[in-house]
Amino acid sequence: MQQSVVQTLSDRLFVRLLDDITAAPITLAGTHSVQILDPAGAEVVAATAVGLTTDSAHTAIYTREWDADTFPRSYDYHNNERDGYRNYYRAVWLLNTDTYQRVTYFEVIRRRFTSQLTDTDFTDRHPYLTAQLPSTETTFAAYRQRAWDRIAIAIEQKIERNPGDLYFPEAFSLAHEYATLSDFWLNNSFDGADVSEDKMKHKRAEEQFASAFDVAMSKVLIDTDDDGVVDDEVETRYLNNVTLRR
């Protein structure tokens, strides 16, 4: 998923220092800084180490409050016209005492597209799966996150906006459940045969996911006027029959 920060909140960006060729992690050492440029390329935050931390040997994190005056929303409503467009900010990272430069792009958004499906919800409906988790895992968090990312990307491709601009993300809860099941069976199928019980379960979950996703997409509310209010300027779009490549 591309990076984004929520306007008016304290939120973070990150970059991992990896080798350009081998992708091997490079240990962070010395001093680091980050500079923020607006979509037009103008500097809005001069290179700074304030708010810059690390949470591993090779991941740098920049945390701040993304106030509306300094960081206007990335989505431009385009003078009340129906079709706006997206702009992207740029973060320029200087790492290991200016030895490495990395550039990342991000959006300033109104809200995140978040799921309400928890591990408890999932295991209540599928209690038998807990015993089938790999010995190195204790929750379904990784499967749920991959499944939700998949849903968010599919929506974003269709509406050409951040999926957080949709109201009622809980409408996708059933699709999320089936996508999680599909991901679980796909990643825990160890039978090399073309036809196996696990692969059949994965295929069935994929079919259930596609159906539930199509229903959820059939009538969604989009914040077209970008004011964060469900009112008569909110548009209802019929977005079913979205092709999901599997």
Residue 148 region, left (φ>0) first, then alpha (ψ -120 to 50), else beta?
alpha
115 touches 173 (CB < 8 A):
yes
Arithmetic mean of pLDDT over the chain: 89
Domain with CATH 2.60.40 in the chain: 3-109
Q: Are 225 and 80 in contact (CB under 8 A)?
A: yes
- The Cα 32–Cα 100 span in angstroms is 9
User: pLDDT tens digits for 179-198?
Assistant: 999 999 999 877 666 667 88
Q: Extract the tokens encoding 88.
A: 């992207």
- pLDDT value for 81: 47
- Region 40-54 average pLDDT: 97
pTM: predicted TM-score of the whole model, two decimal places: 0.85
Q: Is residue 86 a contact partner of residue 45, using CB atoms and an 8 Å limit?
A: no
Query: For residue 197, with 0-12 CB atoms within 10 Å meaning exposed, 13-18 middle and 19 or more buried, which class applies?
Result: exposed
Kindly state the percentage of the chain with pLDDT values over 70: 88
pLDDT of residue 84: 66
**Torsions phi, psi for 62 (to 5 deg):** -115, 120
Q: Tell the CATH topology of 3-109.
A: Immunoglobulin-like (2.60.40)
pLDDT, tens digit, for every residue of 103-153? 999 999 999 999 999 999 999 999 999 999 999 999 999 999 999 999 999
Q: What integer is the mean pLDDT of 162-171?
A: 91
CA distance 150 to 160: 15
pLDDT at 3: 96
pLDDT digits (tens, 9 = 90+) for 196-241: 788 899 999 999 999 999 999 988 888 777 777 776 545 555 555 5
